[in-house]
């Protein structure tokens, strides 16, 4: 038998999740927090102490600071040579300096970190990316929601403002920060390009038989053994997003998802009460308990609470969610 352990860490406003195949293979999805970076450190140490020596695959859904500000620590603690593969959304080279300004330096800091440590990230463009399945039992499918049309729209915004997108002078970029940010908002909406980052679908391979499945949120809950899929959404804007819906429909091997992350910490700009109609799942989870967001999106949360489908991953009560799946 093979055991899959899926860990959703309570790091507050941020993102950090891990999936382990027995004690032999470890995938990490995002690694950061705005409010509890020390909590992230604690969980990185816990993975190390559990016996993991390598991060076999690191997925970065987007480059907001709260999702990436602990990646340097992750790489240092596991040692760079033990970080085998990094998967990131594709950003055109011509946009790297203005995009870095938009992310307040997080983008180039990560690229420099990878280069310093001889890590060559897989940059996922518009098409679906399918990393090789592990041991023919488990797979991850990745979709980048950014399109060439999005970048063309941004190029036109910069042209209209007479901005030199290839200028890498820090003074020039800092002086034009407000204009750069306004161009990103005009092209992508308030959520910017990070609302169209990577979404990651994790599930067993076709034909693999599940023996049992359970989840803990306070106490163990038996789950339908046939459901294993989890959709990690980062800050993706998934309100009636037909491209994301088609990606799930075309790649999910089961009748429905087991777990779906409510994107952008519950923001109503990224999900609403119709969200569950597009992404049918046994359970849904969110990574923040910001009262303002919950109030604005209360129809979705009330619906999920009433149906018993809502799982809270909150820093305030340290409710780590552990999902164990046993394969025959």
Question: How far lies 276's CA from each of 136, 212, 281, 294, in Å?
Answer: 30, 25, 7, 16
Q: Look at residues 247, 209, 245 and name the one whose alpha carbon lies nearest to residue 228.
A: 209
Could you tell me the end-to-end alpha-carbon distance of the chain, in angstroms, rounded to an integer? 5
Q: DSSP labels for 55-90?
A: B-EEE-----HHHHTTHHHHHHHH-GGGB--EEEE-
Q: What is the pLDDT of residue 205?
A: 95
Q: Measured between alpha carbons, how far is 2 from 203 in angstroms, rounded to an integer?
A: 14
Please give the structure tokens belonging to residue 182. 């306004």
Q: What is the pLDDT of residue 173?
A: 96
Q: Measured between alpha carbons, how far is 82 from 154 in angstroms, rounded to an integer?
A: 37
CATH of the domain at 20: 3.60.15.10
Please give the structure tokens belonging to residue 317. 């009560």
The burial of 296, by beta-carbon neighbours within 10 Å (0-12 exposed, 13-18 middle, 19 or more buried), is given as middle
Q: Look at residues 49, 56, 108, 66 and name the one whose alpha carbon lies nearest to residue 86.
A: 56
Mean pLDDT, 10 residues at a time, the chain of 328 residues = 93 93 94 90 93 94 95 94 94 95 95 95 91 94 94 96 93 96 92 93 94 80 84 93 93 93 87 85 83 81 88 76 89
Q: Measured between alpha carbons, how far is 126 from 175 in angstroms, rounded to an integer?
A: 32
Q: Which domain holds residue 61?
A: 2-327
Q: What is the pLDDT of residue 139?
A: 96
Q: What is the pLDDT of residue 236?
A: 94
- Tell me how many degrees the CA angle 302-222-6 measures, rounded to the nearest 5: 85
Question: How far lies 20's CA from each of 69, 198, 261, in Å?
Answer: 22, 20, 18
Please provide residue 123's backbone torsions phi and psi, each rounded to the nearest 5 degrees: -100, 110
Q: What is the pLDDT of residue 305?
A: 87
User: The dihedral of CA 68, 293, 268, 255: what is its sign?
Assistant: positive
Please tell me the total count of domains within the chain. Answer: 1
């Amino acid at each position: 038998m093979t055991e899959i352990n899926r860990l959703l860490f309570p790091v507050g406003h941020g993102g950090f999740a891990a999936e382990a195949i027995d004690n032999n293979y470890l995938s990490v999805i995002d690694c950061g927090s705005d409010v509890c970076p020390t909590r992230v450190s604690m969980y990185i140490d816990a993975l190390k102490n559990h016996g993991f020596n390598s991060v076999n695959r690191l997925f970065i859904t987007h480059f907001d600071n709260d999702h990436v500000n602990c990646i340097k620590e992750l790489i240092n603690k596991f040692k760079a040579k033990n970080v085998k593969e990094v998967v990131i959304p594709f950003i055109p080279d011509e946009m790297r300096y203005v995009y870095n300004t938009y992310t307040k330096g997080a983008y180039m800091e990560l690229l420099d970190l990878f280069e310093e440590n001889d890590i060559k990230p897989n940059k996922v463009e518009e098409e679906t990316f399918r990393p090789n399945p592990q041991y023919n039992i488990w797979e991850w499918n990745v979709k980048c929601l950014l399109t060439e049309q999005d970048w063309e729209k941004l190029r036109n915004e910069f042209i209209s403002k007479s901005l030199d997108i290839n200028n890498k002078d820090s003074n020039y970029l800092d002086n034009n920060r407000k204009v750069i940010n306004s161009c990103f908002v005009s092209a992508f909406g308030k959520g910017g390009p990070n609302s169209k980052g990577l979404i990651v679908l994790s599930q067993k391979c076709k034909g693999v038989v599940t023996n049992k499945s359970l989840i803990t949120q306070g106490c163990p809950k038996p789950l339908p053994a046939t459901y294993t899929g989890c959709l990690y959404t980062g800050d993706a804007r998934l309100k009636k997003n037909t491209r994301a819906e088609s990606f799930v429909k075309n790649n999910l091997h089961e009748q429905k998802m087991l777990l779906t992350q409510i994107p952008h910490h519950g923001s109503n700009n990224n999900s609403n009460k119709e969200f569950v109609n597009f992404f049918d799942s046994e359970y849904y989870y969110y990574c923040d308990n910001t009262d303002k967001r919950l109030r604005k999106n209360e129809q979705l949360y009330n619906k999920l609470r009433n149906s018993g489908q809502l799982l809270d991953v909150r820093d305030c009560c340290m409710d780590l969610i552990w999902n164990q799946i046993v394969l025959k």
